[in-house]
A and B are shown apart, each in its own frame.
Chain A
Amino acid sequence: MGTTASQLRKDLLSEYQELTFLTKQEIILAHKRFSELLSKEDRNLPTPRVPMEKVLSLPELKSNPFRKRICHVFSTSDMKDGSLTFEDFLDLLSAFSDSATLEIKSHYAFRIFDFDDDGTLDGGDLEKLVNCLTGETDDTRLTTEEMRQLISNILEESDIDKDGTVNLSEFQHVISRSPDFVSSFKIVL
């Protein structure tokens, strides 16, 4: 499952084409960009891993407030350090591609927004999410009162079984009502 120094094997290419939503050109481009991120000695390893800092230096992810969560969600590393292999990278691009289904996108969006990885979006997750959306600077953040109101409104609207958290099905139900989600949940290299 590794890649040779500069070229992607043909059988791997066709396999990736089948298993992801990416086209051939996109996979080749992804391979090129991934190889640029690798350091020289890593290139000869069978399954090289790129540390999270290098991944975050990609221009498409550099300014994204969810970049760290994206790396953590797609990483298969045992040490949970957010490092990505080439296949993880392809998974990332596939989920964010044009032709990915709403189901896949909403699944991964849920995992990205689940900051504490407990399987549901509770009040803490929602607060962190809103803070990511509104930005780093202080003048754009919501006040505590507004935050509390916002979270209670969100839970009122989306928590159907009233258990105080938003689980995956409820999240997908909310997303299915939004026509803009599919077009905004996209990253193209």
Chain B
Amino acid sequence: MANSVDFNLSPIMELELESLREDDTAQDSMCQLIRVTGTGLESGSPETLEMEVLTTEGRDRMASQMSDVRERADERRLQRSEESMQTDLLVRNRWSAATLRVLSSMPSRSVGQQSRLEIISQCNIRSTQLRRYHRQNQDVSLSSRPRIRGYGIEADSEDVCEEETKRQELVINLQSLSAGDRVRMMRATPLSLAEKTKLRKLAFSDKVGQSLLSSQVPCCSLLKRALYHVLFGCLFILSSLQLWQVALKRLGGRFGTGVLSYFLFLRTLLLFNVFLFLINSLFLVLPQAIHPPLHTPSSHRVTGLELFTGTGYLSNSLMFYGYYTNSTINTSCRPDEATAGTGCGTTSDPHMMAYNIPLAYFFTIGITFFITGIVLVYSMSKSFGRSFRVFKSQGNLAIKVFSSWDFKVSKKMSVRLQSENITTQLKELLSEVNGGEEEKGRLSGMALHLLAWSISLGSTFFCALGIHCFAKHMHLRRLEDAEGEVSLVHEARLLALPGVVSCGNLLLPGLFNLVSWMENYNSPIVRLYVSIFRNLLLKVSILGVLCYHWLGKIAAEPEQHGLQCWESFVGQELYRFLLMDFIFTVLYTVFGEYIWKLFSQGVLRRRRKPVFDIARNVLELIYGQTLTWLGVLFTPLLPAVQIIKLLLLFYMKKSSLLVNCQASRKLWRASQMSTLFISLLCFPSFLGTSVSVIYTMWTIKPSSGCGPFRNLPFMFHSGKQWAQELKSTNPKLAWLNWVHSCLVENPLFLFLMAGVFLMVIYVNTQVLDGQRKIISLLQEQMENEGKDKKFLITRLQAIHEERQRPLSPSSRPQPQGSEV
């Protein structure tokens, strides 16, 4: 319909122009107004106008078309002069009092001033929206902070009257809201506390002295009140249980949000492990501990080394898989009657509680993994949502300037560091925005990158290969040792493989650091991501080799490796790995960080202490957690070990940080980094472990001599057996079996779920796309509004000036002949 609009406009315009051609300056300005407006409206489609002209009346329009062309040329000239006049007027800034008054009461400026007017009007609007009324409220006033008005214009008396009426309206609105909404509304208004208390008194004058939260409500919400109290009590307990709150505040104040994110991640991991430990101990360890199985007591010498190797008396303890029986514990049974393979007593007796250990084992592990997975995915999506920006803007300068100052930092030294940080970042960003990066020697840069990547990938590959060969060698040695006497040296040899792996984990990241320093990346973010990727690759390949070794070789042929109970062995290996990792971390912290600090300050004479390497430490945490998750199936008490390790690690890292390190000068985008860490925890780490656990449960034959799954072809058969038993004993629950076979064994269900997920993702991306388009359209519209505003201000000023100017010969209309 734009065509018809244009078509209607042009004849009107022509008429106007014809009639106004002889007028004086005042009407000439009106004429200019119309012309420029017309140009503005038409500017988008002069071609359509021409098309319209050509298609409708042909020859008659040809003549007018010629005049149109001339008109347009005129208009363009006028527009240019108009624009220059506009900028002239804006720049000169000799605005009259009337213009200033208009300007200072413009809505966009008074919103920023937050006169009481605007605040209460917004409050009103929100409260009426809550009540689902549609009353439009004009500007209202209630005092907030010192009354600020630009250009020193004083308030009118009518404003005060408006204040009162609008205040009354707001009071009425507030009274009709529910208690929770009221509280939220009051809290979210940016008024001063004095004003809010006045408002509250007005609105709830009958309820002065009572808390809004516990206001009288009719009978059946006595329950609600009780619930509130319980909830608040729980929240209070939870908040007071906030572990390490004071320590974290101190660290954040001194080192900033980046280092803080490492410690918060540590605390998150601790909570995961506590959850794992509680569930395991409640359902698995405690029942088995209360009813210990019969086993032949073996003579083991008690040496201190057992704690590190997990062998000896520990191997037949609750720690490891081998201890657990495959019996069903009945509460009326005496412990010495429990025999392998059969339950004692009759299970048909309804008063006896039968606790099937293999089933409990299977389901406990499965359910903990499931819940951990859900919690991880949920926190990852939340964190991702927080850090994702819908509309990616060109530059980040405004964001950096407005939001990079960390108000938590309170020490003078740290404040100075922060200022330096921000200065460097701003300078970097400025140079990036303006100059772009220099392309110095692209070819040599490429070659350098290639070299660096080949070094890091090569070293990772050789490390993995070396570990593979060493592991094989160690197994052969162990077989030899097992034939002879069990001695201390042989036990200690078990620690060799974990030691080598931890060494590799320690040294290779140092090599990667060196390599990336050599590469000299321009952008610190790219450097960080590259280093994280390389470290991750190293750890993934090491763990992959080890898993292949354990699950692929040892589990498949346990007799070849001389093991009766391969699961216990794998559990012990993981226990040893975890311990060695911790010991090496302690050694690195003591020797690496402390001695490096002495070295760099004493010998190299650097003024600055070394910097805490956040990425590397977080990857270490993720590695430890992966080991724990891998080991839970074989060592139910491994989370307890991890908990102790994390607690010690926290205090150690904290003291090392305070003594040895200082705040980093590098850029740290805290929220994006914590998203990255959680997603690294979820994707390679948790996914990998759950895949290996599922693989173990579904395809590997459990050993026949020990553990709760002995004599079963696969571990998950315990669940299957139970389901079949259930079907035979209790036909009412047969549908469970049917559900189980439908969901778990039928691949169609999985395909359906995957299809639904993909559709949801597709719809969401389309919605996102649409929103982006709308945002860009709205921005364009806002720009146009701004142009309109500028135009109107200048017109206002121009007209005012025209009026001021005394009539002079220069204002007479020009002779008409020169115009056409």
Q: Which residues of A contact B (CB under 8 A)?
A: 1, 11, 14-21, 23, 59-60, 62-66, 73-76, 78, 80, 87-88, 90-91, 94, 96, 101, 103-104, 107-111, 113-114, 117-120, 126, 129-130, 133-135, 140-142, 146, 149-150, 153-154, 157-158, 160-163, 167-169, 171, 174-175, 177-181, 183-188
Contacts and interface: CB of A to CB of B under 8 A. Distances in A.
Given A120-B109, A168-B111, A130 B401 contact: yes
A141 to B, nearest CB: 8
Contacts of B211: 14-15, 17-18
B113 A119 contact: yes
Contacts of B426: 130, 133-134, 142, 150
A128 B163 CA distance: 35
B408 A133 contact: no
B193 A90 contact: yes
B407 A187 contact: yes
Contacts of B676: none
B188 interface: yes
Contact-residue size bin, chain B (C-beta under 8 Å from the other chain): 35 or more
Contact of A60 (B109, B213, B410, B434): B410
Interface of B: 108-114, 145-146, 148, 150, 183, 186-188, 190, 192-194, 196-197, 200, 209, 211-213, 239, 249, 257, 386-387, 389, 391, 393-395, 397-399, 401-408, 410-412, 415-416, 419-420, 422-423, 426-427, 430, 433-434, 669-672, 779, 782-783, 785-787, 789-790
Contact of B402 (A59, A142, A171): A171
A2 B137 CA distance: 34
Contacts of B785: 161
B112 A168 contact: yes
B550 to A, nearest CB: 41
Contacts of B187: 18-21, 94, 101
Contacts of A188: 249, 408
Contacts of A186: 407-408
Contact of A162 (B186, B395, B411, B786): B786
Contacts of A74: 145
B386 A187 contact: no
Contacts of B782: 160-161
B419 A157 contact: no
Given A153-B395, A162-B786, A167 B111 contact: yes
Contacts of A163: 108, 786, 789-790
Contacts of A162: 783, 786-787, 790
Nearest to A168: B112
A177 B401 contact: no
Contacts of B422: 133-134
A3 B520 CA distance: 61
A134 B112 contact: no
16 contacts: A18-B183, A19-B186, A63-B411, A64-B407, A64-B410, A65-B415, A65-B419, A73-B145, A75-B145, A94-B187, A117-B146, A119-B114, A119-B150, A157-B398, A163-B108, A167-B108
B401 A154 contact: yes
Among A110, A119, A168, A174: residue with most chain B CB under 10 A? A119
B691 to A, nearest CB: 32
Given A150-B430, A162-B786, A167-B112, A179 B672 contact: yes
Contacts of B394: 157
Contacts of A117: 146, 148
Contacts of A157: 393-395, 397-398
A160 B209 CA distance: 47
Closest 7 CB pairs of A and B: A161-B786, A135-B419, A119-B112, A119-B113, A181-B403, A87-B193, A179-B671
Contacts of B783: 160-162
Contacts of A184: 257, 403-408
